[in-house]
Structure 1
Amino acid sequence: MIIVVTGLAFEARIAAGAGVTVICQQNATLADILVPALAEGCEGVVSFGTAGGLVDDLRPGTWVIARSVISAKRRFETDTRWSQTLRALLPEARYGDIAGVPEPVVDTAGKHALNRTTGAIAADMESQVVARLANARELPFVCCRVVIDPAERSLPEAALAGMRADGSTDIGAVLKSLLRHPGQLPGLLAVARDAAHAKKSLTRGRGRIGAGFGFATAA
């Protein structure tokens, strides 16, 4: 059994399939769910879903396969053989480091600064939790993500207001944010276009990855 970790509900729906158990939870409460799941036993762990781009040439919909996950305190190397299997299944993917962050990097300056300080080409909020817990249990793990917001895109408040801990969207909170600051609408529409492109790419790539996220092939 492979455990696949996502942060958003639509990512979890795409991740589901033969040979995997999907956990969908935001990073602040992810460990509370993932620790007991790992205790029940698994063969490997995947961090899957979307990520923010940190370099200008990563467009929405671009796949990134992590060479390592960089957190505030250390670097966690992904499983090399498994990552190479994913690269063969997704030959257009970029291979590089992914930064694990505790909260979204919302503006262009912050994204570029994170790239300069870590060398990472993308960032997400679940991979560092997956890396830390898998490493502690000596379990193989990989990280494969699709860019949803490019480095030059600053995220409006409304895009983040509706994120619930379980990965679902609180539409009411998004609308309230828009009512308070209606000038966010053009930026929110741009984010929605990027998200639609990323979702299509994630769905296509997931179909190519196949059952068990390629673990059996890599083993």
Structure 2
Amino acid sequence: MSFIGVICGLKSEAKTVERAVASHKLRIGISGANAARAEECASSFCDEGAAAIISVGVSGGLDPALEPGQLIVGDKTIAGDGSIYASDHALLEAAKASMRDAGHEEPLVSSLYGSDEIIDSAQKKQALRTQFGTVAVDMESHGAARAAARKGVPFIALRAIADPADRALPAAALNAVAPDGSTRIIATLGAAMRDPKQFPALMKLGADSAAATKALRRDLGPLFLGFFLSLNL
């Protein structure tokens, strides 16, 4: 039986997908915000007969105009080596049509940057925006896209802005994601307790991430309905 393979960086993102899209035609892999693991998982899905690979999750903003919770449908994903992975045209059209049909605001369709390292400062975000013209950054879409391109399987990325372009990530949050995609809550709080000045930034990051998750939970249902129809699943 054919299915859609979904690649998430975090367990919390995977749970959001599961709650928004109740379908046995969905398989979810968790990369732990690591492009190599995302590529491996997507490759396995392709070998098992995936009809499409979808990268889903939160992202960092690169365009100063984008606020937390903004949904983005990637029309292409650019990797650090300059490789460009175009999203599948039929899936792009299905995404736009399904959002219109559901009465949702049409998502922003633009380019994404796939990074192999955490982009933790506003200066780094601005540099990426200037160099590549991308509007958001994540750490697994390019890995998933690379596998899909190699296997000849349709790909698209869905991201929601968490930390906006003008905001740096607090140091305590930089090692918050474990390889299995879980969040190291105790370690992150411990790091912040050693430097309490980080707590306001951590609280703001939590609120922004919640806004991104809310956007995904709201829009993934109609988006995936469009994908299922487009792929005849």
Q: TM-score range by the shorter chain?
A: over 0.9
- Which residue does 1:217 correspond to in 2? 230
Unaligned segments of structure 2, at least 5 residues:
100-104
- Which residue does 1:31 correspond to in 2? 39
Alignment-mate amino acid for residue 63 of structure 1: L
Q: 2: CA distance between counterparts of 1:98 and 1:217?
A: 23
Correspondent of 2:145 among 131, 136, 157: 131
Unaligned segments of structure 1, at least 5 residues:
none
Q: 2: CA distance between counterparts of 1:134 and 1:162?
A: 28
Q: 1: CA distance between counterparts of 2:201 and 2:115?
A: 23
Alignment-mate amino acid for residue 52 of structure 1: G
For the residue of structure 2 that corresponds to 1:161, the secondary structure is coil
Q: 1: CA distance between counterparts of 2:131 and 2:224?
A: 35
Matched, 1:194 2:208: yes
- Which residue does 2:6 correspond to in 1? 4
The answer to whether the 8 Å contact 1:162/1:172 transfers is no
1:115-194 equivalent positions in 2, closer than 5 A: 115-194=129-208
For the residue of structure 2 that corresponds to 1:76, the secondary structure is strand
Q: 1: CA distance between counterparts of 2:59 and 2:189?
A: 24
- Which residue does 1:205 correspond to in 2? 219
Correspondent of 1:60 among 61, 68, 76: 68
| Deviation of 1:165 (Å) | 1.1
When normalised by structure 1's length, the TM-score is 0.94
Between the two proteins, the alignment pairs up a number of residues equal to 218
Change (3 A) 1:45 1:32: closer
Alignment-mate amino acid for residue 81 of structure 1: A
| Deviation of 1:166 (Å) | 1.5
| Deviation of 1:48 (Å) | 0.6
- 1:55-106 C-alpha deviation (Å, 9 max, x unpaired): 1111100001111000022111100111121122334311110000012211
1:99-110 equivalent positions in 2, closer than 5 A: 99-110=113-124
- 1:15-61 C-alpha deviation (Å, 9 max, x unpaired): 12312101111214333433333222211100111111101111100
Alignment-mate amino acid for residue 162 of structure 1: A
- 1:100-124 C-alpha deviation (Å, 9 max, x unpaired): 0012211111111101101101111
For the residue of structure 1 that corresponds to 2:162, the secondary structure is strand
| Deviation of 1:218 (Å) | 5.6
- Which residue does 1:86 correspond to in 2? 95
Give the share of equivalent positions with the same residue, in percent. 31
Instruction: Tell me the C-alpha RMSD between the 2 structures.
Output: 1.6
Q: 1: CA distance between counterparts of 2:51 and 2:231?
A: 12
Q: 2: CA distance between counterparts of 1:169 and 1:145?
A: 19
Alignment-mate amino acid for residue 10 of structure 2: L
The answer to whether the 8 Å contact 2:39/2:146 transfers is no
Q: 2: CA distance between counterparts of 1:56 and 1:218?
A: 35
Q: 2: CA distance between counterparts of 1:89 and 1:218?
A: 13
- Which residue does 1:14 correspond to in 2? 16
The answer to whether the 8 Å contact 1:60/1:194 transfers is yes
Change (3 A) 1:104 1:152: same
- Which residue does 1:77 correspond to in 2? 86
Alignment-mate amino acid for residue 5 of structure 1: I
